[in-house]
């Protein structure tokens, strides 16, 4: 088994990369399996967040399976990059937020998978890196685009052009991860998700879409998107319930409507 997809009892889906002997490396077949798993999660109406981690305690994901990258045509290489990009982009389109739980190494495609998630938590021993430059390559699954959005252009260029490692402490300091989690990382992820999953899913999705727009649009276009999405949120029954609960000094009962 290379992919394990389960549900927790608190409304989370848990996707585990399960190739611990290969440090959970990404073959093209595994990329396709991840895509299929994300499509499955998108259809689950009883799931309120997606957690992604790697089996074992050595690696979240050590990146692409290098053996598959040798002696390929340029057309095949481009298609492979587009496959990885398309699979990871599905995380943006999920109706629920995703949380990468980085245990150990997150190199190359593994770091790119983590960056594609909505949030990132890491164990103290986590190490991030985009070492493609050391192989005469550059990141191809979104790393050159997502890393600058998280840590800024200058720092992203330095990390990519040197191929150096980033420890969990540095990753937290520069904004690559949301927090370092001691102890049980999966439980930490469930606890983290519980901080937002109690709210209305349609409204949470509106918030995600608005913030995502800020990354690739001029300010005036982003503000227009915000106005449209805030109006859409206002039209939900959950918005009516939230405001009524506030006035009535009670806890709202959101129904994702």
Which residues are the active-site residues? 112, 132
Q: Residue 132: count other Cβ atoms within 10 Å of its Cβ.
A: 21
Q: Name the E strands within 184-249.
A: none
CA–CA separation, 81 vs 175, rounded Å?
Answer: 26
CA–CA separation, 135 vs 117, rounded Å?
Answer: 26
How would you class 230 by CB atoms within 10 Å of its CB: exposed for 0-12, middle for 13-18, buried for 19 or more?
Answer: middle
Three-class DSSP category at 136: coil
CA quadruple 109, 114, 115, 118: dihedral, nearest 10: 150
**CA-closest candidate to residue 131, choices 167, 161, 152, 173:** 161
Structure tokens at 61: 């994901």
């Amino acid at each position: 088994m290379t992919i394990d997809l389960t549900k927790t009892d608190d409304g989370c889906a848990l996707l585990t990369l399960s190739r611990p002997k290969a440090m959970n490396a990404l073959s093209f077949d595994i990329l396709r399996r991840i895509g299929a798993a994300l499509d499955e999660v998108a259809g689950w109406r009883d799931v309120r967040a997606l957690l992604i981690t790697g089996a074992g305690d050595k690696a979240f994901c050590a990146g692409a399976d290098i053996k598959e990258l040798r002696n390929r045509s340029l057309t095949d290489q481009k298609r492979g990059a587009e496959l990885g990009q398309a699979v990871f982009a599905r995380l943006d389109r999920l109706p629920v937020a995703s949380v990468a739980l980085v245990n150990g190494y997150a190199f190359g495609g593994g770091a790119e998978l983590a960056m594609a998630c909505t949030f990132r938590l890491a164990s103290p021993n986590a190490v991030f890196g985009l070492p493609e430059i050391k192989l005469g390559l550059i990141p191809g699954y979104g790393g050159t685009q997502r890393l600058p959005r998280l840590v800024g252009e200058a720092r992203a260029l330095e990390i990519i052009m040197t191929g150096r490692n980033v420890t969990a402490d540095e990753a937290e300091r520069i904004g690559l991860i949301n927090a370092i989690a001691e102890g049980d990382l999966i439980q930490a992820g469930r606890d983290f998700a519980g901080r937002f999953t109690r709210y209305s899913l349609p409204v949470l999705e509106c918030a995600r879409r608005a913030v995502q727009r800020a990354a690739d649009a001029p300010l005036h276009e982003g503000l227009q998107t915000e106005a449209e999405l805030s109006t859409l949120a206002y039209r939900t029954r959950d918005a009516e319930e939230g405001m009524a609960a506030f006035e009535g000094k009670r806890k709202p009962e959101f129904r994702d409507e």
